[in-house]
Structures are given as structure tokens and as C-alpha cells.
Amino acid sequence: MRIAVLVDNNTLIDRYFLAEPGLSLWIEDRGVRVLLDVGYSGIFLSNAARMGIDPLAADWVVLSHGHLDHTWGLGPLIRRRLEAAIEGRPQNRPRLLALPEAFAARRMGPLPEIGCLVSGQEAARHFELSLSTDPVWITDRLVFLGRIPRVFDFEAPAPVGERLTVEGFEPDLVPDDSALAYVSDHGLVVVTGCAHAGVCNTVEQARRVCGRDRVLDIIGGFHLLDPDQARLAGTVDYVRGLGLGGLHACHCTDLGSKVALAAAAPLCEVGVGLCLDY
């Protein structure tokens, strides 16, 4: 499997890409191409072009959850697909995979919308829409983890604004948060978006779904932004016990959390342009 970082909060030094507070990863495994999240804008398209990657060749588009910094790039992607169709250029019609709540309206304080701007009905016009709470195997080694059980007390969720339900707007615990896991020959690689479900809960779900205990690497957002001491200490202790070969914490992981995690695992730099092979 190869992972290329198309969007992150940072770029690598002397690599001339664009960054924004968001995440988008390009994943290839055995000829299957997966676009995980699409960032906040269309910069994933320009970054991909500079890296020689064509997002229109994706077989799957996977949304880790429905927040703006992971989904608002859907609009530019749809426009790019339309332009390709007008010009007669080849493109796939990818399967779009997410949990059912990923397209719900969301708000936070004075912000009227922090969720996906594309509705599920609109997405179904442009993609093969698949909403699943169960794990979905994308290849024989790469799996979407579905609904993630939240079992660790120190990762107890806090609401992130409000989400529209059939009962109206309610505190949003981001139940649509999911991730990917890859079964490498040397252990699991867990690929998160923001890990609102908790990065430790996410790793445990990967172990259950894949039937493997050994974890080689975790890459993605850890949702550690000024975390309380119990959450940070619990996460660091859990990560230390994994015996990781590498740790690629990025996006929604603040500096203090990275410093703490660096004492528990080999922390690696992440930025747009990074490519990892497993």
C-alpha cells in the first residue's frame, strides 16, 4: 500500500504544495485507488496534479466523517468530474463510502453550517453512494472500519456543535467518525481522519475487524487539540503499549500533544507531499 498526503495543515520543507486546516489522503493498494477525505477546498486537486496523481481515477471516495475540513472539497471534485465529462476525458464513477450521518447538517455557535455542503441525494447523482455502519473491505487488505465502539473512559466524547436529526438539532458526538485499516505483513496501519471516536478506540476497532493485534503505524488526525490531562495521558500510555514502528500524527493534533506522543512512539513529520509505502 502507498499513501500520499494531498492535504494537511502543513507542507514539507522545500516541497511546493498548498496546505490548509484539513485532510486528504490518496491510497493505492493492489491497483485499487482510494481518496480518503477531500479537505476544505479544492487544493487537493492542484496538489494531486503536482504529484502526478489523478483524483478522477479513484475507485473509491471515503469520508472519515462529515465535517467541513474533510468534505467541502466534494464540490470542486464534482466540478472537475463535470469538466472532464464535457471534454470527453476518461474518469471512473467511484463508490462513495461513509457512515449514514456523514451528510447531516451541522452547526456550531454562530456558524450556521460546519457539515458537508453536498447532500446525500446530490452525492448519489455523482457517485455510487454506499452508507454503511458495518466494516467494508475495499481490498483483501484494506478495510473501512464502520461504526467505532467507544470503550475507553478517557476518550469520552464531547459534543462538537449540533447535528440535525429527525428530532431537530441535538449535541453532536460525531457518530459518523470512522477510519481505514490496512493489514501489512508487519502489522496494522491505521489511517484516521480526525479520530473523533478516539484514536485508541479506533485502533481497537481495527484490531477487532482485522483479527490482528500488532499495530505498525497510525497516520492521520488524533483530535488532540488542547486535550484534558486524562485524555492525553491515557492516549500516550495506550500508544506506548503498542510498540509502534512509526507514528504519523497530523492535522488536528496540536504541538503539545505531539511532544507528549513523541515520548511514547517514533513520531514522524507529516505534510503535503509525504508518501509512505507499506
What's the CATH code of the domain at 24?
3.60.15.10
In 3-state terms the chain splits into helix, strand, coil percentages (rounded to 5) of: 30, 30, 45
In this structure, the strands spanning 95-98 and 106-107 are: unpaired
pTM of the full predicted structure?
0.97
Counted domains in the chain = 1
pLDDT in tens, 135-175: 999 999 999 999 999 999 999 989 999 999 999 999 999 99
Per-chain mean pLDDT for the chain = 98
pLDDT of residue 221: 98
Which of these, 51, 52, 139, lies nearest to 95 by C-alpha position?
A: 139
d(CA 209, CA 136): 10
pLDDT in tens, 188-204: 999 999 999 999 999 99
The domain of 45 spans 2-277
DSSP of 130-170: EE-SS-EESSSSEEE--SPP---GGG-----SEEEETTEEE
How many angstroms separate the Cα of 126 from the Cα of each of 129, 137, 162?
8, 22, 27
Q: Which three cell numbers stand for residue 164?
A: 440535525
**In the chain, which stretches have pLDDT less than 70?**
none
pLDDT of residue 270: 98
Q: Where are the beta strands (DSSP E) in the chain?
A: 2-7, 24-29, 32-36, 60-62, 95-98, 106-107, 128-131, 136-137, 142-144, 162-165, 168-171, 179-184, 187-192, 215-221, 246-250, 275-277
Q: Which three cell numbers stand for residue 46?
A: 492542484
Query: What DSSP character marks residue 94?
Result: P
Which residues partner with 95 through β-bridges? Answer: 60, 128
pLDDT in tens, 201-227: 999 999 999 999 999 999 999 999 999
